Amino acid sequence: MTAVTAPAKLTLSLRITGVRDDGYHLIDAEMVSLDLADTLEIEEGHGIAVRGAGEIDPSENLITRALMLVGRSARVTVAKRIPLGAGLGGGSADAAAILRWAGYTDIQGAAQLGADVPFCLVGGRAHVQGIGELVQPLQHTPRTLTLLIPPFGCSTSAVYRRWDEMGGPEGANGNDLEPAALEVEPRLDEFRRLLQQATGQTARLAGSGSCWFVEGDYPGEGRIVVRTVPAQPQ
């Protein structure tokens, strides 16, 4: 059996620079890996088991697709710590962990699995462009951040669609999707306010949500203190 780590992804800033003819949005973002991570136990056999936050449909999830991409079969047991639907790239991180385990390093190929998989495969800290497939590693900068994750997720496709309908607004806090996410899921505002009141900091939305974050160490009820981590060895 082999155990591999799948660090969460946090999008520190996100600008949308255009929309392709096929509808995919072009981004300009800074992303970092966190010490909040899933653990995948990989052994001979078939099937996927999940312990922790939520259920994964083995016929549709990214782990199955990643195994297909690398032409491998395995039994994978996932110890889930990355919350589902929070915008922290849990599914993409798990897929990237499978790719690393298989020795797969093709960033363009990884993009077939989803826009966040290339960054999760590279990890660390990076400037991400295109539809997520252009990943330029940056020097690791140790940072401490506090997350507040609501008990609901946000649909990435719904948030992008609403951003289009709103005429492509620019987010005031470095995330262009924040205004659209607040319209798609108005309950987000309550959690933003809670985090700001607890920390005295301006909360920022992680990608399309639903996670809010601030810089600094502010432990407390419902909050998770995390640290950035460097890229894992390939």
Active-site positions? Answer: 9, 116
Q: In angstroms, rounded to a whole number, what is the distance separating the alpha carbons of residues 37 and 20? A: 32
| Distance linking the first and last C-alpha atoms of the chain | 18
CA distances from 134 to 29, 82, 139 (A): 10, 24, 16
Residue 63 token pair = 């782990």
139: burial class by Cβ within 10 Å (0-12, 13-18, 19+)?
Answer: exposed
- The length of the chain, given as a count of residues: 234
Q: Under DSSP, is residue 151 helix (H, G, I), strand (E, B) or coil?
A: coil
β strands within 93-202, DSSP E: 125-130, 134-137, 144-148
Q: Please name which of 127, 13, 5, 109 lies closest in space to residue 118, comparing C-alpha atoms.
A: 109
Residue 153 token pair = 């997720």
46: burial class by Cβ within 10 Å (0-12, 13-18, 19+)?
Answer: exposed
